[in-house]
Amino acid sequence: MHITGLDEERHDQRWEGQRALVTGSGQGIGQAAAQLLASKGVRVAVNDIVPERAEATVGLITQAGGEAFAAPGDISNPSTVERVFQQLDEHYGGIDILVNDAGIIIKDTLDNTDLERWNRILAVNLTAGFLTIKQAVKRMRTQHYGRIVNVSSIAAKHGGGYLGGVAYAATKAGVAALTRGAAREYATDGINVNAVMPGLTYTPMTSGMPDWKQKAIEDSTLVKHGGQPYDIARAIVFLADPESGYIDGETLDVDGGTSLD
């Protein structure tokens, strides 16, 4: 019996020549996803609002023999998004994989979140995905192929708590709905849209957490520890895989068995 996907040659070559944009890939989860994609032969546009971080990731990828370029800028800004996609067109002639990773966190209560910060977190965590998906889909449609992976959070399920406040959770719930809706709209264009829902992951975003809080979150997992950026990157790359075409509109928990739903 021939089982598609176990064909050795196809297995090795299926990533070759693909082109990806990973937003917020100057550190943490996005950086690990960019590195893992590049290690498979994917050419990567590395976006980050901090240009030095984007350059650092490009350095790591090229030192390891991969291909990448820096596309810095605030990805919630429509003109940045346009420019980043123009850069992708110029460097690689389009895009096959979009990873919407860029994110910021607010840990405060609603009482202590003013409208300016509310609008900012919505722009970065949710509107940026709306903008990048529209640009990516324009290109993916013409080739009838694309993989879009969004980064939500288990905070979406509980309205926040240990991992971020209400504003953060609301944006991440929005990402989950955006994922399902976009999956429905673009499925017949050959474009799959999925999301990961990470639990606690040890990155600069969570590094300032007090020990008691970190321990409480670790205790709430089945595995009794948080995840490394690579753990989340593996799930992102799994969903971005050409052979994951039967997975669509999924939000995949990567949380050490916290949610169990």
Q: Which residues are catalytic?
A: 168
104 makes contact with ligand NAD (CB under 6 A):
yes
Smallest gap from Cβ 11 to ligand NAD, in A, equals 29
Binders of ligand NAD among 52-71, rule CB under 6 A?
53
Q: Which of 206, 220, 251, 258 binds ligand NAD (CB under 6 A)?
A: 206
- Number of chain residues interacting with ligand NAD (CB under 6 A): 30
CA distance linking residue 254 with residue 7, whole number of Å: 28
CA distance linking residue 152 with residue 171, whole number of Å: 8
- 76 vs 251, which CB is nearer to ligand NAD? 76
Smallest gap from Cβ 150 to ligand NAD, in A, equals 9
| Interface stretch with ligand NAD, choices 11-19, 35-43, 180-188, 200-208 (CB under 6 A) | 200-208
Binders of ligand NAD among 5-34, rule CB under 6 A?
23-24, 26-30
CA distance linking residue 135 with residue 88, whole number of Å: 11
Q: What is the dihedral of CA 76, 105, 198, 67, to 10 degrees?
A: 40
CA distance linking residue 71 with residue 60, whole number of Å: 15
Smallest gap from Cβ 88 to ligand NAD, in A, equals 15
223 makes contact with ligand NAD (CB under 6 A):
no
Q: Which of 36, 96, 103, 157 binds ligand NAD (CB under 6 A)?
A: 103
The three-state (H, E, C) secondary structure of 172-226, written as one string: HHHHHHHHHHHHHHHHHHCEEEEEEEECCECCHHHCCCCHHHHHHHHHCCCCCCC
218 makes contact with ligand NAD (CB under 6 A):
no
239 makes contact with ligand NAD (CB under 6 A):
no
Cβ partners under 8 Å of residue 50, min gap 6: 26, 72
191 makes contact with ligand NAD (CB under 6 A):
no
Q: Which of 18, 76, 251, 258 binds ligand NAD (CB under 6 A)?
A: 76
- Orientation angle between helical segments 78-92 and 128-143, nearest 10 degrees: 30
Cβ partners under 8 Å of residue 188, min gap 6: none
Smallest gap from Cβ 10 to ligand NAD, in A, equals 31
35 makes contact with ligand NAD (CB under 6 A):
no
Label residues 103-136 b or e (16+ Cβ within 10 Å = b).
bbbbbbeeeebeeeebeebbbbbbbbbbbbbebb
Residues that bind ligand NAD (CB under 6 A): 23-24, 26-30, 47-50, 53, 74-76, 101-104, 124, 151, 153, 163, 198, 200-201, 203-206
